[in-house]
Chain A
Amino acid sequence: MNQRIGVYLCRCGANIGGVIDVSAVAEYVRSLDGVAIVRENGFMCSESGQELLVNDIKDHGLDRVVVAACSPHLHEETFRMAAVRAGLNPFLVVVCNVREQIAWIADSGQAASVRAQSQVAATVARVGYQREIVPERVPVNPATLVVGGGIAGIEAALRIASAGYGVYLVEQGPSLGGHMAQLDTTFPALECGACILTPRMSAVAHHPGITLLTMSEVEAVAGGIGNFTVRVRTNPRSVSPELCNGCGICEEKCPKRVVDTGHNAGLGNRKAIHFPFAQAVPFVPVLERSDCLYFSTGKCRLCEKFCPTGAIDLKEKEVFREIGVGQIIIATGYSLFNAARISQYGYGRFADVFSALEMERMLSSIGPTGGKVVRRDGITQPKRVAIIHCVGSRDRNYHEYCSKVCCMYSLKFARQIMEKTGAEVFNFYIDIRTPGKGCEEFYHQLQEKGGYFIRGRVAMVMEAAFTVTEEGHLIVQVEDTMIGRTRRIPVDMVILSPAMEPRGDAVQLATKFGLSCDVNGFLSEAHAKVSPVATMNPGVLIAGCCQGPKDIAETVAQAGAAAGQVLATIARGEVVIDPVRATIDADHCCGCRICNDLCPCQAITYDGERKISKIITLLCCGCGTCVAACPSGVIDMGQFTGDQVVAEIEGLLRTRSGDTTHGI
């Protein structure tokens, strides 16, 4: 091969240049076959770096380019577009990651430099086998799937639908609303949560462009950006939304009463068949089969007997449907940390220890207590209330991260409890974190109104009284780090502010949609700063607390951003298919069909007439399973062809005199 390869070594300020001896790498690379030019540069991604590349390609007639810089996830696109400007096919440019994979993790500069030499040599060897590719373009299906019917999902669905495109909104529960529907007021303006949320819920229900699928979950996803096929399972509600007139007789007649662990967070009771809550959308009851007498004993059927419209269907079965969409927004929200795990705080042990969601329901005027703040006995008003911040957050035993919203909702509780009961309220905090418009002001107001603040992580909540004044109270034991002493504060009620944590099924969800989870288990965005709602799987976007703890305003902003990206893709009308796809050499396929069943994307079909297997490019996810399995070795993976991979390995193993470690 007579090639002219240009190699560009980026120092990335001190990121690479401070660790790797870039000049030594340059000197080594100059000796490699086919290398026409080697350049060192401070910031290759900058305008001047890109211009250098463009001019060299033109002036020196380069036909292959290697850029040794950061992860290709960050700037592969940047360098390839620069090559296009110079008239070179973008796939003849390969990025070698010497920052994240070498400089940032190296034990010493020496090892990093040796390893960088091997890595760049490998890329130089590979780039010779890169081929010009003109990627396939496919039209985008303008329909969008939104998973999760909380505020994030609602917002995203409404925005896309209002632009005139179809949305499928899939919600696991019986109603839209999510966690926000449980909140009484929102901080810092103490604005009624329902007044903001419920009109949006009903807008979703009435929007002709939105197909709302409650009681539903995504079973499987196939395809890629532009053309996903999604299989959705709808679980039986046992009440027909078409026939139900919302009269509520079924709920009234149902003899089975259970603790409402759903909407009311364990406070108060509900029936086995019940409306999810007063403003539920759709306003149709749900029969919880695990609670229902008929399903446990085979007798009862009172709801069915009394329903005036014959809407009860006890034989209803789950329904599966296949939906075709171009893009997907995941907005599945969070779970609340189970405060009982920190047993010394007494949740689940002491009646008067409440979790934040229980408190939200208690403060709600349409909640189980009608908005009255009372102890677990349902009557007594508390005179002294403790609010414990950071329960499960900022705690290495549970979640090291800050859950971001707990300070503000704790202050909101303090304010509301003081106003409703006149009780003394003690906030036990580590640091008060109140960023955001109007939040610090809210904190100051509370201090002026006489809220108490004690800085220190609570050791435990106990019933054991040490003095007469402590008798009959819950005692909060804490080290007050402001005065450097241990204090014991007797109270009547304790509210725990638990962490927001990833949903229990976050990993399965990520697997299903081809996403990854971060170290805390939340879904990972493509880039924390410049691509916060896209993911590594093109066409799948994330919004709201499934990505990490955040408040309502931030959630809505993310949902809007995700919707905007979806609309931009729809407006473009077509998407470029990533060329990392498998292809079968039709002339040499023996038709053994081994690959057919192995394909996890069902992308391989069998052509009975020609007796060969064929790959449907659109469905291929580029995993490489078929490539490895093909006994004739005739399946090729774009960008990972046999000759490319072998050349890369040979380049990596090329040894310099005296060095056999390759820096690994």
Chain B
Amino acid sequence: MKYAYYPGCSSETLSSGYEVSLQAVSHLLGLELVTIPDWNCCGATEYMAVSRLASYAVAARNLALVPEDCHTVVASCSACFLNLKRVEVVMTDYPEVGEKVNEAMAAGGLSYGPGRLQIRHILDVFLRDIGLEHIQEQVTKPLSDLQVAPYYGCMLVRPTSCFGQPEYPVGMDTLLGALGAVPLDFSLRGYCCGGHLPQIKADTGFEIIHRILNNAEKEGANCIAVACPVCQLNLDLYQRDVNLRYGTNFEFPVLFFTQLMGLAFGLKEEELGLDLEAMTGGRLLGEARSQHDTSGYPGDGEALGGNREEIS
């Protein structure tokens, strides 16, 4: 299987652990990722606020650069995924905007024909194209000691979700389950992580992060899995600030789901960039696993007969 791959800016800096682990597990699963030559920033959230047309053109340039023999573009960052997908949808649904975008790109000798490419998130590719069965075959060290809070964030599942309900997505849960981990019923899974608020308006930003970490703790999590560099950054880097501000004592390893896949596949920590997190996920993960309590997750066995069903 061959896919055009859009790495996104943070893959080279803050979330290099995502990039490293993604490449490692994709290799093991036989997924061929062709990096788009001379790709540029997707425009993130800022460009959209400055000039819509410019932001579309910035994102569309990446699509125009996709090699002819690729029909699918895969992004790992949720914001990149959303921006690329958005420009594809806009150019398809509003041909007059598409023309303007192509006019702008013509200056660089580029053009993009809407409808040519499918834009997908890497989690979707793992779930639907690779399949849980094939993933399970690679598992050599099941993560049975991990109670994971699956955190999807907002941009991965909005406005359209291919992982179930936008408010309660479940796709990553099934993947974590296939790795042997226990995915938890974690209410705030589809909530926003705060994005750039910690830098712009710390009070609001930290409150949002505190809620999410608090929910994960209440559900008995010893690890949080994420699928977006900004989610990882906020939940990981600001844990100390949240602890100081709220008097809490959170010490969650916040890992990309690809890092958890790598661990389950038996890859070494350094192959997965596990030493690159602010909270040094590798160390915390080791601690979490050594303290693992097997008494189980409370909430079952209600007196009136359970309504508990398998989430799929």
Q: Which A residues fall within an 8 A CB radius of B? A: 259-260, 266-269, 340, 342-344, 347-349, 351, 353-355, 358, 368-369, 374, 376-379, 459-460, 462-466
Contacts and interface: CB of A to CB of B under 8 A. Distances in A.
B217 to A, nearest CB: 10
21 contacts: A259-B305, A260-B305, A268-B305, A343-B165, A344-B165, A344-B167, A349-B311, A351-B299, A351-B302, A351-B308, A353-B307, A354-B307, A376-B307, A377-B302, A377-B303, A378-B304, A460-B167, A462-B188, A464-B218, A465-B218, A466-B211
Contacts of B170: 343
A259 B170 CA distance: 27
Nearest to A259: B305
Interface string B166-209: 01101000000000000001011010000000000000000000
A464 B307 contact: no
Contact of A464 (B164, B215, B305, B308): B215
B311 A376 contact: no
Interface string B148-172: 0000000000000000110110100
A379 B304 CA distance: 9
Contacts of B211: 464, 466
B23 interface: no
Interface string B281-312: 00000000000000000010011111111010
A348 B307 contact: yes
B187 A348 contact: no
Given A351-B299, A351-B307, A376-B302, A342 B165 contact: yes
Nearest to A475: B187
Nearest to A459: B167
A464 B304 contact: no
A459 B187 CA distance: 12
A260 B190 CA distance: 34
B303 A379 contact: yes
Contacts of A358: 307
Contact of B305 (A266, A353, A466): A266
Contacts of A269: 305
Q: Which 8 A-B pairs have the closest CB atoms?
A: A462-B187, A348-B309, A378-B303, A344-B167, A464-B215, A344-B168, A376-B302, A343-B168
Given A460-B187, A463-B218, A464-B188, A349 B308 contact: yes
B156 to A, nearest CB: 16
A260 B307 CA distance: 11
B40 interface: no
A343 B304 contact: no
Nearest to A463: B187
A377 to B, nearest CB: 5
A169 to B, nearest CB: 32
Contacts of A349: 185, 308-309, 311
Nearest to A269: B305
Nearest to B211: A466
A40 B303 CA distance: 74
- Interface size class, chain B: 20 to 34
A369 B302 CA distance: 14
Contacts of B305: 259-260, 266-269
Nearest to B215: A464
Candidate in B211, B214, B305, B307 with the most chain A CB atoms within 10 angstroms: B307
Interface string B57-90: 0000000000000000000000000000000000
B218 A340 contact: no
Contact of B304 (A347, A376, A460, A462): A376
Given A462-B188, A464-B187, A347 B218 contact: no
A267 B305 CA distance: 6
B268 to A, nearest CB: 35
Nearest to A378: B303
Contact of A259 (B190, B303, B306): B306
Interface string B119-160: 000000000000000000000000000000000000000000
A289 to B, nearest CB: 21
A121 B291 CA distance: 85
Candidate in B168, B187, B190, B219 with the most chain A CB atoms within 10 angstroms: B187
Contact of B311 (A342, A343, A459, A465): A343
A347 B306 CA distance: 11
Contacts of A379: 303
Contacts of A368: 304
Contacts of B299: 351
A465 B165 CA distance: 21
Given A353-B307, A376-B307, A464-B218, 10 more contacts: A268-B304, A344-B167, A348-B311, A351-B299, A351-B302, A351-B307, A376-B302, A459-B167, A464-B215, A465-B214
Nearest to B299: A351
Nearest to A338: B309
B184 to A, nearest CB: 11
Contacts of B215: 462-464
B310 to A, nearest CB: 8
Contacts of B185: 349
A529 B307 CA distance: 41
A377 B307 CA distance: 12
Candidate in A342, A348, A369 with the most chain B CB atoms within 10 angstroms: A348
Contacts of B306: 259, 351
B262 to A, nearest CB: 28
B191 to A, nearest CB: 9
Nearest to A466: B211
Contacts of A344: 165, 167-168, 190
Contacts of B190: 344
Contacts of A354: 307
Nearest to B307: A348
A459 B168 CA distance: 10
A602 to B, nearest CB: 43
Nearest to A258: B305
A340 B309 contact: yes
Contact of B303 (A353, A376, A465): A376
A464 B187 CA distance: 6
A348 B165 CA distance: 15
Nearest to B207: A466
Contacts of B165: 342-344
A465 B187 CA distance: 10
